Chain A
Amino acid sequence: MFDLRKFRTVWIWIILVFIILVLVSSKLGGKGRWNPAEKVIVEITAPFQKFIGSTINATEVIWFKYFALIRTHNENALLKREVDLLRMENSRYQERLTTHERLQELLQFKETYDWPVLAAQVILRDPSGWFESVIIDKGEDSGLKVNMPVVNARGVVGRLVSVSADYAKVLLIIDQNSAVDCIVQRSRDGGILKGLSSNVCRLDYVLETSDVGVGDKVVTSGLGGVYPKGLDVGEVLTVVSTAGELFRDIKVRPMVDFSKLEELLVILEEAPLANQ
């Protein structure tokens, strides 16, 4: 049976191919210019093309920038976290470095003097504000006993006044109840160093006839049965002579910075040290 529909479709395809061939052949050898019909088509369709293209471009830009921003934001947060971590790490290293320097100083002290010493850490300060004492993290179990002298790399810190199994209380030389028998290193004049609960101590019982000047170094005398001889205590800050007085009024600035006590050394010797 003859199928009219199939016959029509074949002819439509033949006509379309023919048109295409005519169009292609008309361009062959030409300069690629549009003919008027093409121009009309281009003029009509190009704006749509342009609009669609720019829309796609805009969408693409917004889309990618949005995602890029999210990525940047995440990256920023990640970098900030990393910076924080690095800062913390840096701070830890700095702390280790300063601790190392302090311990190095303590080690030098230990090597300079021939006494058996034990390093301890300050864990608490006097809570009353009226007395000057600290609690350290070593006690009887580590061999500490009452009256043992406590020093750091700069000089005398104080002495142990109470000791428990694992902790001990150190009475600082700046406490008003503390008294250290001292001598002025240059002139060998003796006196008793008393605390004033501040960064300055008083050197009592130094005779008017003594030769003590500002800047003179004050060291322990070895008398008194607690501190060994020759430990640095402080430096003479002021010397005042009053007419008619038997003793001079001498103020001493301690070598140790008591506001920054961290590591201390306890000299593990009792009273006999005083006579060395």
Chain B
Amino acid sequence: MKRRRLILYILLWMVALFFVLMKGSIMNYIGIHFFDIDLVIIIITYLLFMDAETGAGIFALSLGLLIDVYSGGPLGLFTLLYLMLFLSIHIGSGLLDIRSAKGQAIIILLAVLLKGGLLISFLHIFSLEIHISYSVFWAFAGSGVCSGLMGPLILRVFHCVGTLIAGPIEGDSENGIWI
């Protein structure tokens, strides 16, 4: 069972890796830089939904580091950001029902909005001059809403694949998930 879970983690990591590496080129192709449907946040939510706190933490740390390596920003910025997001989602999953689609949508929406807010704060704290226009906040709102709406669907797909690979998650039936 543990081995199967490990396979699932590796698969999720590969999906996230592919997403992160392709994201820059896709965003450049589309031409919208701040519109950000963040699959990493969705995967962190999924791992927390699977009760894999450690796995989610390691995932957030490694993906943050990976983005740091490839981005032009200071090293550690995105690692810190994703760790903060992991903590926030973890706290949020205690307050909201992460097993319901509604709870998932709200958690992902708030996480994406928080990501934007934290990023702007960090950039100011680290004295990085970033020119931010009002359209960026609209992009954050749009990204949050889109991620929130798409999140439960993507989680559903992950859940199906995860069940196929690692078997059913404990408490699936009694808690009546995906309502």
Q: Which residue of A lies closest to B32 (CB)?
A: A129
A124-B131 contact, Cβ under 8 Å, with A133-B71, A133-B72: no
Q: Which residue of B lies closest to A128 (CB)?
A: B71
A126-B131 contact, Cβ under 8 Å, with A175-B72, A177-B72: no
CB < 8 Å: which of B25, B129, B131 contacts A125? B25
Residues of B near A244 (CB, < 8 A) are none
User: At the interface, yes or no: B167 with Cβ under 8 Å from chain A?
Assistant: no
CB < 8 Å: which of B33, B36, B131 contacts A176? B131
User: At the interface, yes or no: B70 with Cβ under 8 Å from chain A?
Assistant: yes
Smallest Cβ distance from B162 to chain A, in angstroms? Answer: 25
Q: Which residue of A lies closest to B24 (CB)?
A: A125
| Per-position 1/0 for B47-85, Cβ under 8 A of A | 000000000000000000001001111000010000000
Q: Which of B116-136 contact A (CB under 8 A)?
A: 119, 123, 128-131
User: At the interface, yes or no: A132 with Cβ under 8 Å from chain B?
Assistant: yes
Report the interface size for chain A: residues with CB under 8 A from the other chain.
23
Which range contains the number of B residues in contact with the other chain? Answer: 20 to 34
User: At the interface, yes or no: B31 with Cβ under 8 Å from chain A?
Assistant: yes
Residues of A near B173 (CB, < 8 A) are none
Q: Which of A87-104 contact B (CB under 8 A)?
A: none
Residues of B near A13 (CB, < 8 A) are none
A128-B128 contact, Cβ under 8 Å, with A133-B72, A135-B70: no
Compute how far the CA of A127 lies from the CA of B21 in the bound complex, rounded to whole angstroms.
6
Residues of B near A276 (CB, < 8 A) are none
A177-B129 contact, Cβ under 8 Å, with A126-B24, A130-B73, A259-B31: yes
Compute how far the CA of A241 lies from the CA of B28 in the bound complex, rounded to whole angstroms.
33
User: At the interface, yes or no: A219 with Cβ under 8 Å from chain B?
Assistant: no
Residues of A near B78 (CB, < 8 A) are 128
Q: Which of A136-180 contact B (CB under 8 A)?
A: 161, 169, 171-172, 175-177
Smallest Cβ distance from A194 to chain B, in angstroms? Answer: 8
List 17 A-B pairs, Cβ < 8 Å: A124-B24, A127-B24, A128-B24, A128-B71, A129-B24, A129-B27, A130-B119, A130-B123, A131-B73, A133-B71, A135-B70, A169-B70, A176-B131, A177-B128, A194-B129, A197-B131, A259-B28
Seen from chain A, the residues whose Cβ lies within 8 Å of a Cβ on chain B are 124-133, 135, 161, 169, 171-172, 175-177, 194, 196-198, 259
